[in-house]
């Protein structure tokens, strides 16, 4: 019976994907059982589970709802795992069964201190986080503000601290929230006359973790309610941990009274990982995905990819994908090819940074605004145009392009390309602008 249910899901999934993607990521999955609304699937390794969650969650979600009903939960078993551990697809559970209560904290159990690689670039932040985990609210690190560029591990560290607090203090009422989700919840509470419920939810916490606080820029009412929640928690010795892509002194778009409170505790930067730390990160990812790479390849990647942790992880994912699809070992030649396509741009090639600067100058805006979550029409158009040319003139993946634009996902890039094509077809002035920019890039690439 469970085979029939899974085949029904596969028939729907196959219609949504190209043959290569379907054969690579869904054919190897085996249905194990279906009982009490739980469909258990066996996947080849942890990497498969993580890849499907990141790239095909919506497709899997829709197929499960159509075939098995809205209350279905999907669980995973890792092939050849002696413990036969099941991995819950938390995102799918949340979407298909709103009654699940184990997700209230919004913490990702896969992010912990054990798999957060330490080095000179992050030792202070890690040690502060561990101290907080033992006595949340009763250290000198309250609030703790963590800042750093895209892909340096801010979100991972927030979840790691939160998970350790729950482990050490099981009765601690804790919640992780992105500033964007906090804003949307606040707006919903206003519309539905539930502002008191919203405030009480956050004011009754013992620990509040807020990610990407810079996205509160320009949201005056949201900043005001956050200010009052912050004050209430701080006065009651509750722990507050926030992250940002810039230091407090550079948070010009936030109220001064709010920024001043961010400075009350400890502010620490997550810097770019050095060579040795990059090697440690690679070895951890290699171990967790149960693949083999020679020391020569590890050293080569660590030397060539010196931007951020996310780029390093992207290289590993791409190498595994190429190796799986081509059914070949990961050698130095393949590694060089992947790096040249994703990260390394030669002097005579156009890179994303050059495209961003060129487009920003053309539309008379700053590159920083292009990366922010600003929704002004002129900024949105410039951002979409830069994504459009990044896809056209570089070999970066959609995911990598999105990362270069403030950590956006691949679907945003797809939407940007479609929007630009639509505007070219309907707006002659815009079409001429695109042609002018294209000439600049074509000359550069000669």
Share of the chain above pLDDT 70, in %: 91
Confidence at 86, pLDDT banded by 50, 70, 90: very low
339-354: average pLDDT: 67
Look at the block and give the residue holding tokens 């309250």. 142
Q: How far is CA 325 from the centre of its chain?
A: 25
CA angle 104, 107, 111 (to 5 degrees): 165
Task: Give the pTM.
Answer: 0.54
**pLDDT score at 80:** 57
**How confident is the model over 375-432, as pLDDT tens digits?**
889 999 999 999 999 988 887 888 888 888 988 888 899 999 999 999 999 999 999 9
**How confident is the model over 281-330, as pLDDT tens digits?**
888 888 877 778 888 888 888 888 877 788 888 888 888 887 777 777 78
Q: What are phi and psi of 109, to 5 degrees?
A: -65, -15
**How confident is the model over 405-420, as pLDDT tens digits?**
988 888 899 999 999 9
Angle (deg, nearest 10), helices 309-326 and 275-288 = 40
202-225: average pLDDT: 91
- Taking CA atoms, 136 is separated from 16, 155, 200, 240, in Å, by 46, 18, 20, 9
DSSP string of 30-80? EEEEEETTEEEEEESSHHHHHHHHHHSHHHHHHHHHHHH-TT-EEEEEETT
Angle (deg, nearest 10), helices 220-235 and 195-203 = 40
Peptide bond into 373 cis (omega under 30): no
The domains of the chain, with CATH numbers, are: 2-96 (3.30.300.180), 123-269 (3.40.50.300), 275-342 (1.10.8.60), 352-445 (1.10.1750.10)
Nearest C-alpha neighbor of 389 from the set 320, 441, 313, 346:
441
CB count, 10 Å around CB of 390?
A: 27
**pLDDT score at 213:** 93
Confidence at 205, pLDDT banded by 50, 70, 90: very high
Angle (deg, nearest 10), helices 410-426 and 428-445 = 120
In a 3-state reduction of DSSP, which class is residue 372?
coil
């Amino acid at each position: 019976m469970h085979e029939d249910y899974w085949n029904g899901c596969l028939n729907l999934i196959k219609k949504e994907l190209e043959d290569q993607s379907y054969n690579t990521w869904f054919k190897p999955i085996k249905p194990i059982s279906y009982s009490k609304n739980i469909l258990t699937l066996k996947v080849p390794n942890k990497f498969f589970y993580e890849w499907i969650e990141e790239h095909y969650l919506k497709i899997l979600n829709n197929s499960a709802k159509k075939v098995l009903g809205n209350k279905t939960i999907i669980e995973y078993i890792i092939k050849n795992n002696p413990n036969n551990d099941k991995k819950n697809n938390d995102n799918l559970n949340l979407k298909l069964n709103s009654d699940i209560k184990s997700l209230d904290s919004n913490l990702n159990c896969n992010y912990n201190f054990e798999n957060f690689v330490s080095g000179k670039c992050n030792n202070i932040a890690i040690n502060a986080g561990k101290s907080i985990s033992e006595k949340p609210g009763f250290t000198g690190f309250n609030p703790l503000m963590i800042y750093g560029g895209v892909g340096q591990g801010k979100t991972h560290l927030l979840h790691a601290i939160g998970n350790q607090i729950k482990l050490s203090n099981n009765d601690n009422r804790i919640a992780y929230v992105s500033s964007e989700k906090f804003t949307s919840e606040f707006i919903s509470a206003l519309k539905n006359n539930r502002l008191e419920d919203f405030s009480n939810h956050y004011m009754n916490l013992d620990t509040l973790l807020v990610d990407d606080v810079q996205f509160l820029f320009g949201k005056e009412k949201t900043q005001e309610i956050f200010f009052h929640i912050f004050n209430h928690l701080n006065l009651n010795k509750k722990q507050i941990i926030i992250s940002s892509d810039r230091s407090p002194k550079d948070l010009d778009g936030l109220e001064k009274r709010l920024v001043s409170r961010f400075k009350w505790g400890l502010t620490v930067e997550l810097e770019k990982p050095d060579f040795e730390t990059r090697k440690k990160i690679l070895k951890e990812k290699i171990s967790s995905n149960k693949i083999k790479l020679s020391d020569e390849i590890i050293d080569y990647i660590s030397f060539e990819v010196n931007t951020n942790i996310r780029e390093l992880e992207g290289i590993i994912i791409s190498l595994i994908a190429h190796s799986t699809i081509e059914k070949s070992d990961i050698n130095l030649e393949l590694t060089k090819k992947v790096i040249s396509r994703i990260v390394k741009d030669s002097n005579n090639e156009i890179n994303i940074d050059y495209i961003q600067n060129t487009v920003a100058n053309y539309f008379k805006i700053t590159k920083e605004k292009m990366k922010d979550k600003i929704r002004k029409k002129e900024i949105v158009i410039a951002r979409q145009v830069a994504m459009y040319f990044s896809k056209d003139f570089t070999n970066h993946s959609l995911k990598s392009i999105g990362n270069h634009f403030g950590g956006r996902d691949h679907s945003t890039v797809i939407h940007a390309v479609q929007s630009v094509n639509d505007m070219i077809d309907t707006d002659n002035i815009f079409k001429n602008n695109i042609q002018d920019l294209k000439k600049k890039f074509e000359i550069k690439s000669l």
